């Protein structure tokens, strides 16, 4: 079983739609959680950290459920510029290196 699992997609949605991505992680010692965005052939960039209380940044909302070891990302009012691959990322206690999911590809269509 992969340490971080995501649905690879692609999710094809029209502009203005709301889309949700889910992610599960297997290591209960994981302590920090993130969503990164990666554009085609570019490096990943931090979209947002994910906190137990949930957090929102504009059109983006992230949720963490430690009991179920589950992380989600909600994007409201999708824009064409949101088209990218979204990587679910977990940092595990000890080595401070990140474990990446394989990513969920989003394509927002006009």
Partner 1 sequence: DGGITQSPKYLFRKEGQNVTLSCEQNLNHDAMYWYRQDPGQGLRLIYYSQIVNDFQKGDIAEGYSVSREKKESFPLTVTSAQKNPTAFYLCASTGTAKGDEQFFGPGTRLTVL
- Contact positions toward partner 1, by CB under 8 A? 4, 8, 31-32, 34, 41-46, 49, 87, 91, 95-103
Phi-psi region of 86 (alpha: psi -120 to 50; beta: other; left: phi over 0): beta
Residue whose CB is less far from partner 1, 55 or 76: 55
Question: How many angstroms separate the CA atoms of 26 and 10, rounded?
Answer: 23
91 has which bridge partners? 32, 98
Residue 80 Cβ vs partner 1, minimum distance, rounded to whole Å? 22
Residue 14 Cβ vs partner 1, minimum distance, rounded to whole Å? 25
Residue whose CB is less far from partner 1, 51 or 70: 51
Helix (H, G, I), strand (E, B) or coil at 9: coil
């Amino acid at each position: 079983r992969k340490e971080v699992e995501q649905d690879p997609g692609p999710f094809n949605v029209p502009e203005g739609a709301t889309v949700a991505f889910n992610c599960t992680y297997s290591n209960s010692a994981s302590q920090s959680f993130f969503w990164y965005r990666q554009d085609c052939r570019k490096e990943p960039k931090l979209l947002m950290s994910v906190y137990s209380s949930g957090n929102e940044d504009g059109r983006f909302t992230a949720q963490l459920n430690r009991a179920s070891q589950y992380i989600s990302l909600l994007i409201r009012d999708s824009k064409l510029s949101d088209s990218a691959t979204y990587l679910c990322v977990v940092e595990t206690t000890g080595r401070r290196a990140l474990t990446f999911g394989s990513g969920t590809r989003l394509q927002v269509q006009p």
